[in-house]
Structure 1
Amino acid sequence: MSGFTVATASQPFNDWGCLGSEQELFTKDTITMALPMKKAREIIRNLIGDEAVRIMDFLGSKKNMSEFSIAEHCKLDMQTIRHLLYRMNGLNIASYIRKKDREKGWYISYWTFNLSKVGELLSKMQREQLAKLRERLEREEDGQGNFFICPKGCVRVDFDQAVELTYHCPECGSLLTQQDNVKTIENIRDRIKELQKGIKVAS
């Protein structure tokens, strides 16, 4: 098999034609700029992981906490703490200043968590997802009736790919069946409307 890539998964495809195990970050209750801490935790957990949530919980509304204090409280080594903090900084949800320790002579970073920036980050991600959904909708509409799936949920391919595969799943060998993607199109349209409404409310 060459010349194209097929989507594969150990989980069945859902009504979107996406992997059934995919997590959805953007639900109706996330569409707001003033996020509660609970929702901020969920977003950060999905983007970075549980250890970053521990850092966020410790920092809270505190200002300019030293990286050593953060490491001690979160019970993580300095390399891990710095890696996580710089990832948070890269997402603009944590900021820092550096000061030179007069006694030891080295520089120490002091960190502040920016909860309001999590809402801005979510808004940016929503807009990016909206653009991807519009592209996906166009592909689904252009290829309506020309998608084929494995009955066991292994792959989903378009017509040309199905022909090259002789209508057999490259993973399990099952005969591919034509997919009616009308429901997929409807779901994507509904998702676009939901995101558009949320972005309008947040702006």
Structure 2
Amino acid sequence: MSEKTDALILELAKELVGEDAADLLKYLLKKRSEITDEELAKELNVKPNEVRKKLYLLSEQGFVTSRKTKDKDSSLFIYYWRVNLDQINDVLLNRKRMILDKLKIRYEQEKDSLFYFCPQDNIKYNMDEALENEFKCPKCGSPLQYYESEKARQFLEQKIKQLEEEIEKETKRGKNNNN
């Protein structure tokens, strides 16, 4: 995986599981091999229970996976953990799809509505809100100005196209890897 992809994965992990668990994922991404929770705890100089909690959080979101074996001497189970690269790609792809849906909704709003904004507070209001407040900012009383949304629509169109292309390319790559 590239550094860019790793950075994206870590950013998503921070959002979903928090900074501490994301730091553990960062360590596992650098390690790129299986490791037990006990070894991880030793290497990171933290308690094994803390490591396990973070691993379980990461596992619930699909970032890591484990393999279970039984210790011959103690009959206890030993878990070997590693980054779940296949699942992470699916997580990232689903996140991109969610963002794409939100961008499309925003684009439709920009396309179908008139907006006004307050030059003082830089807050945008739709036509109904502007009319309701007699085209004055409800916060500071300044007259609202017409908001030209053409640039916003162009920007959204560009981002939508870019995301659609990324999703299509990654979906094809995923299908090719599964064949």
Question: Which residue of 1 is the match for residue 176 of structure 2?
Answer: none
After the TM superposition, which residues 23-42 of structure 1 pair with which residues of structure 2 at under 5 Å, given as runs? 35-36=1-2, 38-42=3-7
TM-score by length of 2: 0.72
Question: Which residue of 2 is the match for residue 156 of structure 1?
Answer: 124
Instruction: Give the counterpart of 1:198 among 166, 170, 177.
Output: 166
Alpha-carbon spacing, 1:161–1:57, altered in 2? closer, same or farther (3 Å): same
Offset from partner CA, 1:82-138 (integer Å, 9 cap, x none) = 343233222212012456678888766432112343322222211222222111111
**One-letter amino acid matched to 2:59:** N
**One-letter amino acid matched to 1:58:** Y
Deviation at 1:163, TM superposition (A): 2.9
- Structure ranking higher in helix proportion: 2
Deviation at 1:43, TM superposition (A): 1.7
Confirm or deny: 8 A CA contact 1:150 1:169 kept in the other structure. yes
Offset from partner CA, 1:54-76 (integer Å, 9 cap, x none) = 4234333212x222322332344
Confirm or deny: 8 A CA contact 1:97 1:109 kept in the other structure. yes
Alpha-carbon spacing, 1:43–1:171, altered in 2? closer, same or farther (3 Å): farther
2:11 is the counterpart of 1:46? yes
Alpha-carbon spacing, 1:169–1:152, altered in 2? closer, same or farther (3 Å): same
2:157 is the counterpart of 1:189? yes
After the TM superposition, which residues 55-66 of structure 1 pair with which residues of structure 2 at under 5 Å, given as runs? 55-59=24-28, 60-63=31-34, 65-66=35-36
After the TM superposition, which residues 1-203 of structure 1 pair with which residues of structure 2 at under 5 Å, given as runs? 35-36=1-2, 38-49=3-14, 50-59=19-28, 60-63=31-34, 65-78=35-48, 80-98=50-68, 109-143=79-113, 146-202=114-170, 203=172
Alpha-carbon spacing, 1:104–1:158, altered in 2? closer, same or farther (3 Å): farther
Which range is displaced more, 103-112 or 173-182? 103-112
Confirm or deny: 8 A CA contact 1:149 1:155 kept in the other structure. yes
Offset from partner CA, 1:28-79 (integer Å, 9 cap, x none) = xxxxxxx32x22431233223354454234333212x222322332344555
Confirm or deny: 8 A CA contact 2:21 2:57 kept in the other structure. no
- 5+ residue gaps, structure 1, are 1-34
| Greater Rg over alpha carbons, structure | 2
- 5+ residue gaps, structure 2, are 173-179
Q: What's the RMSD between the two structures over aligned residues?
A: 2.9
| Count of aligned pairs | 165
TM-score by length of 1: 0.65
